[in-house]
Structure 1
Amino acid sequence: YNGGLSSIDPNFIYFLGPTKSLLGGSYLIIEKNKAVILTSKLEKEAAKSLGLEVKVFEDFPLKKYVKRFRRIGVNTRLMSYSKVKEFLDLGILVVDVSSELEKLREKKSEEEIEAIRKAIEITEKAIKKVVDEGFSDKFESDVYGELIYSMTREGARLAFDPIVAFDENAAYPHYKTASNNKKPEKLVLIDVGANYNNYCADITRTFLLKRDKEIVEAYETVLEAQLKAIEKMKAGAIAGDIDKVARDIIEAKYPGSFIHSLGHMFGILVHEGRGLRRGANYKLEENMVFTVEPGVYFVGKYGIRIEDDVRVLKDGVEVLTTLPKNLEEVIVS
């Protein structure tokens, strides 16, 4: 069941790849020998463009269509209890297949990788544009708006609400961009991602406005942690071990400052599947894609995060992002 903008089911997008509409309020019913979209008259034509059999609720109410089934699998993470209860009241056995569906999406196809590449390309172009225009006379809200405009004019949607954080505001990892009365003094953190053809990018860069010794040292530590972690990534590596590589480097110099996991899978959703976190004992597999985003946060002072998108290969990774991140390349005016 795809609830639409308020509760998009990524599995719905994964199986159908809708382009004309997200088909809010629709059901995808996969049977042994066919698949059917059950939807409203409002979404009928968009659904028909996908090439599957389409039925509308007015002719085939959900209960009427499913009552012949003895057992159905549903994504209980997104389907409400009231909807599940409709099936239970019909005497249908409901099986939660949410974990199986999520694991199905973990390893990306070449087509999915290409969509992610395009999302990254659009995101990087937007970041480069705001950097080239400079930050000295900008407010957070200015940069925020320019990023959104740059990505949407390239035919993309937003993967998530962008973060633009100046100076002490960057100490909050999930800062809600709000300032329209403060210009940056020391640094600018940008965390942004485009969604292209239903697939996301997720990139963070921290730009330094001056050579503040304390900030430079923190930046170089975060960068070292990220590069060392990426070096250890390959098919067969243990996820928790990758997190530990980065965490040990940061903790040795800034204890308690790295307050989130190293990274997460992404694709149709910007956060999906499993993560690179402490204690995660699963093995990385070829064509899984992750963010790698160590950071340090000092409330009242500043925060630094560097985030790249990587694809796991047999003997290493492909870093899909190309945006510069070496110290000399992120010092801007």
Structure 2
Amino acid sequence: MVFMSKQIHFLCSQKKANLLETVKRSAKEAVGTDIVVHVKAKNDDGTALMDEILQAVRSQSKSDSPIVGYIAKEAPEGKLLETWSEKLNGSSLQLADATNGFSELFAVKDAMELTCVKKAAYLTSSVMKNFVVPKLENIIDEEKKVTHSALMDDTEKAILDPSKVKVKLKVENVDICYPPIFQSGGKFDLRPSASSNDDELYYDSTSVIICAIGSRYNSYCSNVARTFLIDAAKSQSRAYEVLLKAHDSAIAALKPGNKVSTAYQAAVAVVEKEAPELLPNLTKSAGTGIGLEFRESGLGINSKNDRPIKPGMVFNVSLGFQNLQAETNNEKTEKFSLLLADTVIVSEKPQKY
């Protein structure tokens, strides 16, 4: 897709071109924009059509070297996009990174988008409350041997079939944001890219279980993460209490007019006051913006982000302590981590889902 002042150019197959026919009239009526479709034949690499699009860019610009915005950090995937990237880089056009512009555009959600986020969040929280928690309780009570990866598979099925948790959402509208994450036994990774390994769930005394799940509704994301303590040691309970307060403070700071960094600073202030010895173990961010993308990078909740918070923004507030030490000699419980995450919609009073 190439957006111009009065045209939007698409390079695609005939099948997708047929779908675009339905938006031609509405685009013209709504914003006075023409939809121009360049249909690529099955065995065509599309280079000639790309030349047509680049020529259209030049002809509609008053400059001899028009400026074209693109997303710099997004690597092209597939032969067609790789060819387009080569064409663009080899042209006389000036390229400018438009990442921040897109981030600003998508940051504030409209009413329809917020409804999708709320439905995704309702599904996510229902899976955690009505599937994951009872599942873990049953495994522990009956001393079953179940792997993290098996729990991941079962939880994914629950997300993809909302009726399993008594949520009335159409199956075709839901999806996972990432494979559900289960961790225990002293091996913890608090990064969003973490995965469930094939180790068995460990739930002896002073053990810690972390679960993170994310679901989509109509492509809009939500996320939740919880930490479960089994016969917790005093230091574990204390660290969890501090984390909970810090997490709540971060959420409370997500008010219109505040800077995004205010939320992380609020969390840090709690830890500094309640348990300063834990500060080195605090995650370096308290999450990111969330929406069509699971991570809206321009809305990272860290100490340096000075972007103003606006009503309608949505955040995945994710905060944790890494590599803490428990009073035990058991190698599977002596090292532990804690994680909490919730989906938060910014209004005059932040709403947690």
TM-score interval, smaller chain:
0.7 to 0.9
Displacement of 1:45: 4.3
Counterpart amino acid of residue 122 in structure 2: E
Counterpart amino acid of residue 3 in structure 2: I
- Please give the residue correspondences for 1:1-333 in structure 2 after superposition, counting only pairs within 5 Å: 28-41=1-14, 43-48=16-21, 54-58=37-41, 61-70=49-58, 71=66, 72-78=68-74, 80=76, 83-128=84-129, 129-133=131-135, 134=137, 135-136=139-140, 137=144, 138-154=146-162, 155=171, 156-170=174-188, 172-173=190-191, 174-185=193-204, 186-251=207-272, 252-272=276-296, 273-298=298-323, 301-314=335-348, 316-319=349-352, 321=353
Partner Cα separation in structure 2 for residue 112 and residue 90 of structure 1: 37
Displacement of 1:253: 4.1
Comparing 220-229 with 79-88, greater Cα deviation is found at: 79-88
Contact 1:193 1:201 in 2 (8 A): yes
Q: Could you list the runs of 5+ residues in structure 1 that have no partner in the other structure?
A: 1-27, 322-333
Counterpart amino acid of residue 67 in structure 1: Q
Aligned to 1:64, the other structure's residue is in SS state helix
Aligned to 1:269, the other structure's residue is in SS state coil
Aligned to 1:68, the other structure's residue is in SS state helix
Summarize the Cα distance change of 1:171–1:38 in structure 2 as closer, same or farther, 3 Å threshold.
closer
Aligned to 2:312, the other structure's residue is in SS state coil
Counterpart amino acid of residue 37 in structure 1: F
Aligned to 1:255, the other structure's residue is in SS state helix
Q: Could you list the runs of 5+ residues in structure 2 that have no partner in the other structure?
A: 25-34, 59-65, 77-81, 163-170, 325-333
Q: Any idea what the Cα deviations from partners look like across 1:27-54, whole Å, max 9, x if unmatched?
A: x232333434320245444555655654
Partner Cα separation in structure 1 for residue 186 and residue 245 of structure 2: 22
Q: Over alpha carbons, which structure has the higher Rg?
A: 2
Partner Cα separation in structure 1 for residue 233 and residue 185 of structure 2: 12
Partner Cα separation in structure 2 for residue 31 and residue 280 of structure 1: 31
Summarize the Cα distance change of 1:90–1:216 in structure 2 as closer, same or farther, 3 Å threshold.
closer
Partner Cα separation in structure 1 for residue 89 and residue 243 of structure 2: 51
Summarize the Cα distance change of 1:213–1:140 in structure 2 as closer, same or farther, 3 Å threshold.
same
Comparing 194-203 with 243-252, greater Cα deviation is found at: 243-252
Displacement of 1:287: 1.2
Partner Cα separation in structure 2 for residue 317 and residue 55 of structure 1: 45
Displacement of 1:239: 2.1
Contact 2:124 2:214 in 1 (8 A): yes
Contact 2:176 2:214 in 1 (8 A): yes
Displacement of 1:278: 1.2
Comparing 74-83 with 188-197, greater Cα deviation is found at: 74-83
Contact 1:259 1:296 in 2 (8 A): yes
Aligned to 1:61, the other structure's residue is in SS state helix
Summarize the Cα distance change of 1:47–1:209 in structure 2 as closer, same or farther, 3 Å threshold.
farther
Counterpart amino acid of residue 231 in structure 1: A
Q: Any idea what the Cα deviations from partners look like across 1:104-129, whole Å, max 9, x if unmatched?
A: 11111111111111111121222221
Q: Any idea what the Cα deviations from partners look like across 1:141-160, whole Å, max 9, x if unmatched?
A: 22211111111123322212
Displacement of 1:85: 4.0
Partner Cα separation in structure 2 for residue 280 and residue 292 of structure 1: 14
Partner Cα separation in structure 2 for residue 140 and residue 131 of structure 1: 14
Contact 2:38 2:49 in 1 (8 A): no
Task: Name whichever structure is richer in helix by fraction.
Answer: 2
Q: % of aligned pairs identical? A: 19
Counterpart in the other structure of 1:327: none
Summarize the Cα distance change of 1:69–1:145 in structure 2 as closer, same or farther, 3 Å threshold.
same
Contact 1:162 1:190 in 2 (8 A): yes
Q: Any idea what the Cα deviations from partners look like across 1:261-280, whole Å, max 9, x if unmatched?
A: 01211111111122111132
Counterpart amino acid of residue 256 in structure 2: A
Contact 2:185 2:208 in 1 (8 A): yes
The TM-score with structure 1 as length reference comes to 0.79
Contact 1:170 1:188 in 2 (8 A): no
Number of residue-to-residue matches in the alignment: 292
Contact 2:222 2:316 in 1 (8 A): no
Counterpart amino acid of residue 341 in structure 2: E
